[in-house]
Amino acid sequence: MLVMKFGGSSIANAERIRHTAKIVRDRLGRKPVVVLSAMGDTTDSLIEAAEKAISDGPVSVEFSLEKISATHLGALQELGLSTMFTPDLRELLCDLATLLSGISLIKEISPKTRDYLVSFGERLSVRLAARYFRSLGMNAQPVDAWDAGFISDSNFTSAELVPESWQYIPAALLPLLDKGTLPVVTGFIAKDANGAVTTLGRGGSDLTATMIAAACRAEEAQVWKDVDGILTADPRIVADARPVGAVTYDEAAELAFFGAQVLHPRAMHPCGKTGTPVLVKNSYNPEAPGSMIGSSLPADAHHVRAITTRGNITMVDIVSSRMLGQYGFLAEVFSCFAKYRISIDMLATSEVSVSLTVDSTQDIDAAINEIARIASVEVKTNKAIVTIVGLVSHSSAILESAFGVCVRLGIQAQMVSHGASKVNIGFIVDGPEAAPVVRGLHKKFFGGQN
């Protein structure tokens, strides 16, 4: 058994869906389960539709609906299918119209409603794609994730699956495969114990796929993207970035979290647990080998896997002489961040100070005011994290090279941290310095033009 996940761009229009169908058909012998995102930018369009419904009222609803149904109708038409929406698609669009009208009247949207709203994207795409797959003779069946065992907590917009999903998922999907069915499952969405629709966070379809692969003990999870796998750097920064042949689960999770766009950070956990390989492939270039994510690396692997960067970072410097030889100070600081639900990314500490970073989208003012009562606090904005993901067994050499690059560029690393997962070395620079540092590091570790 195989799990094949296709993101929005792999099913953005009729031509891409045709292409995706061919990729699936070529692998039917391996008993695939297909997982799909919403078509193209449908998720964004749905969110935009809600924002317009709130700001412009009911008049905007028809326009928004037209845009979303045109994407799906246009694809049906071009795929040579009847442009009549089948009852299931029509029903979904009716429900969506009702929902948007409701939002336009009450002029607000809760996280719960927002999850229900964006779920229409995946629910539409699997029905449309399954219908096309069937027209090609494949025994495809659209499956909503909650009918495939995806039950989550009620943490709307970023829900976690309940542990029982590990049993529910194979119990739901394996019998379908045994019957010779090709399940086409909605990525990204689930339901909580009360039956309310939840989502696993933006980009969450990757997690749907890896969860199915791990829970069903599939031979492999394939994540089909629009790039040739995991790259050594962001190609928008480093023109010479190239695909990495193999990475470990831990490395892939670090890469995803620290700026590589290629996989959802949480998606590595299930397959990491079971040792199920995850292959990242390019649907625009299926011949390319892609990147294999697994438990170990080939013996000849390069000691640096990739260099990433993430901007919009705020650095918080907390200094207190009270910390000297004391216990409990860090606990006080962290419980304050926890109280305001602020997530900390990177951390470095000395005997009398602690520096940490948070994403600048988080509102930290209240927490900072509270900490300022027990220590002196300085907040520095517009920083970036540059992360080198690689073998910590070579960390001294990696650090030497990295700092050599910084020295040559005249750039000061303002904070340095080795990730707890032991695969990353991260440092903070001023926002505008990140791109030149990444280019310099890439050239140092991988050679080439940049």
**Which residues contribute to the site for Mg ion (CB under 5 A)?**
8, 37
Asked if 87 contacts 56 with a C-beta cutoff of 8 angstroms, the reply is no
> Residues 32, 40, 203, 229: which binds ligand ASP (CB under 6 A)?
203
- Binding of ligand ASP by 150 (CB under 6 A): no
- Sequence-distant (6+) residues with CB within 8 A of 232 are 238, 241, 242, 243, 244, 305, 306, 307, 442, 446
What is the C-alpha to C-alpha distance for residues 249 and 265, in angstroms, rounded to an integer?
10
Residue that has been written with the tokens 């080998």 in this structure: 289
3-state DSSP assignment of residue 274: helix
Asked if 129 contacts 57 with a C-beta cutoff of 8 angstroms, the reply is no
- Binding of ligand ASP by 156 (CB under 6 A): no
What is the C-alpha to C-alpha distance for residues 137 and 125, in angstroms, rounded to an integer?
19
- In the shown chain, the binding pattern of residues 97 to 126 toward ligand ASP, with x for contact by CB under 6 A and - for none, equals ------------------------x-----
> Residues 204, 270, 294, 426: which binds ligand ASP (CB under 6 A)?
204
Q: Which does 149 bind (CB under 5 to 8 A by kind): ligand ASP, Mg ion, none?
A: none
In the complex, minimum distance from the CB of residue 263 to Mg ion, in angstroms, rounded to a whole number: 13
Q: Which is nearer to ligand ASP, 52 or 266 (CB)?
A: 266
> Residues 187, 290, 426, 440: which binds ligand ASP (CB under 6 A)?
187
Strands 415-418 and 424-430 turn out to be antiparallel
> Residues 20, 37, 283, 355: which binds ligand ASP (CB under 6 A)?
37
- Binding of ligand ASP by 222 (CB under 6 A): no
Of 43-102, binders to ligand ASP (CB under 6 A) are 43
Element (H, E) at 102: helix 87-106
Total residues interacting with ligand ASP, rule: CB under 6 A: 12
Element (H, E) at 189: strand 189-192
- Binding of ligand ASP by 8 (CB under 6 A): yes
In the complex, minimum distance from the CB of residue 414 to ligand ASP, in angstroms, rounded to a whole number: 32
- Binding of ligand ASP by 294 (CB under 6 A): no
What is the C-alpha to C-alpha distance for residues 42 and 251, in angstroms, rounded to an integer?
30
Residues that bind ligand ASP (CB under 6 A): 7-8, 37-38, 43, 121, 187-188, 202-205
